[in-house]
Amino acid sequence: MKNNPLVLLIKQVLFNGEQVDVKDWAKLFAFSKGHSLGTLFYYATKDRTDIPEDTRRAVLRHYLAQINQQAGQDYLREKLYQAFNAHQIKFAPIKGLVLRDLYPKPDMRTSCDVDFLYQPTQKQMVEKVLVDFGFNKVSENINHGEWTSGIVTVENHHALFDHDDRFAEYYNDVWSKLIVKDQSEYTFTQEDFYVYFIVHSAKHFLSGGFGVRTILDIYLYNKKIQLDKEKTCKELEILGLKTFEKQVLALAEYWFDNAPSNEQLVELEKYVLASGTYGTVTNSANARATGKNSSEKGARITFWFRTIFPSYANMKSAYPILKKAWFLLPFAWVYRWFHVLFTRPKRIGKTIDNSKSVSKSHVEFLQRVKQIAGLEK
């Protein structure tokens, strides 16, 4: 197994690795953007003279656009948090914001939106602040809402996971795991944030995959933060994620520390490199079809069954009335079919295309990867 050129570029920028010989800069740049590492790619290439001029300009444009978006995001985030403090709204920033501090320069690791946790009893106050700052609600799921100002996207979470999610019970009383940082702002301890990030990564891994940036984030967190490993290991074992963390770290150490590889890491690397930042449609479609299918036909039948008859957990997120009247689920399925047929016909075409990407070999590959990661259950 040979290190990917993007991995080698990361080593060059962050870990004093050797300069990488690249044959197709445009292709590698596109691959980097697919893993949300376009700004880090800029730092790896800004002083090189062997890059075609059109690619150099594209890299610079992308970098400046990302920095501009991040600056706007940072400005609005600080204003929002000041307002939350002023109104005594308890909140806790989560996800990407915390990870940016691990990098030599924050703009090497941009984030696509602002995520924070708040208490359900303060939902109206939170939404009033968002409206006052010019945000409009885009959607609302069972545990969070999505808002946009046109430039910045905010996800306000009143719970980290759906109540029937495999990790929900562990985070049922998440505020007991948080400590006061400043005024109304709360934060995880370093160990609890790490555990949460591993859980969040496992969720992406199962639903469609994650990319190089996630492996890099986990690696840097372990290298730069003095963690109580006894505590994190204990909590990950409770969550059933000890093997997952072990394998992810093994891949990171192969990439960035030149540690030895094995057949399992070959499979895991293949999955990560092909997934992009948040996974792929193909992975998602095949993940939906995973099961005890002995044929490609069986896998596609499973895909279509789960597409046409979504689970109760997913349906009640879209149709809140089901929370109080679960017996209306069959009628909700029928309503959903006609709603999609008449208002979103293009979605049907996309679903048909997705079904074509389902194959026995890909389903079996995902099953192997899940087994390697200890997530087969």
Is 343's pLDDT higher than 90? Answer: no
> What average pLDDT score do residues 303-309 get?
62
The pairing of strands 114-118 and 136-140 is: unpaired
Q: Pick the residue with more confidence: 353 or 97?
A: 97
Minimum mean pLDDT range among 3-7, 239-243, 349-353: 349-353
Minimum mean pLDDT range among 20-24, 48-52, 87-91, 275-279: 275-279
pLDDT of residue 253: 95
pLDDT of residue 281: 40
pLDDT of residue 337: 65
Minimum mean pLDDT range among 154-158, 159-163, 338-342: 338-342
Tell which residue, 46, 78, 68, 48, has the closest CA to residue 59: 46
Residue labelled with tokens 């050797």: 18
Is 283's pLDDT higher than 50? Answer: no
pLDDT of residue 300: 58
Is 37's pLDDT higher than 70? Answer: yes
Burial letters for 302-339: b for 16+ Cβ neighbours within 10 Å, e otherwise? bbbebeeebeeeebbbebeebeeeeeebeebeeebeee
Is 167's pLDDT higher than 90? Answer: no
pLDDT per position as a tens digit, 175-231:
999 999 999 999 999 999 999 999 999 988 887 788 999 999 999 999 999 999 999
Structure confidence at residue 60 as a pLDDT band (50, 70, 90): very high
Structure confidence at residue 325 as a pLDDT band (50, 70, 90): confident
pLDDT of residue 294: 47
Angle at the Cα of 295 from the Cα atoms of 289 and 298, rounded to 5 degrees: 45
Euclidean distance between CA atoms 70 and 103, whole angstroms: 15
pLDDT of residue 330: 80
Main-chain dihedrals φ then ψ at residue 147, nearest 5 degrees: -130, 150
Euclidean distance between CA atoms 290 and 190, whole angstroms: 35
Q: How many CB atoms sit inside 10 A of residue 1's CB?
A: 11
Structure confidence at residue 286 as a pLDDT band (50, 70, 90): very low
Euclidean distance between CA atoms 320 and 227, whole angstroms: 41
pLDDT per position as a tens digit, 330-342:
877 777 766 666 6
Minimum mean pLDDT range among 102-106, 282-286, 302-306, 355-359: 282-286
pLDDT per position as a tens digit, 61-82:
999 999 998 898 899 999 999 9
Kindly report the average pLDDT of the chain as a whole number.
84
> What average pLDDT score do residues 277-290 get?
43
pLDDT of residue 9: 93
pLDDT of residue 307: 66
Helices within the chain (DSSP H only): 5-14, 25-34, 38-45, 53-86, 96-99, 123-132, 190-207, 212-224, 229-239, 242-257, 263-275, 281-288, 296-308, 312-318, 329-343, 345-356, 360-372
Is 348's pLDDT higher than 90? Answer: no
Structure confidence at residue 293 as a pLDDT band (50, 70, 90): very low
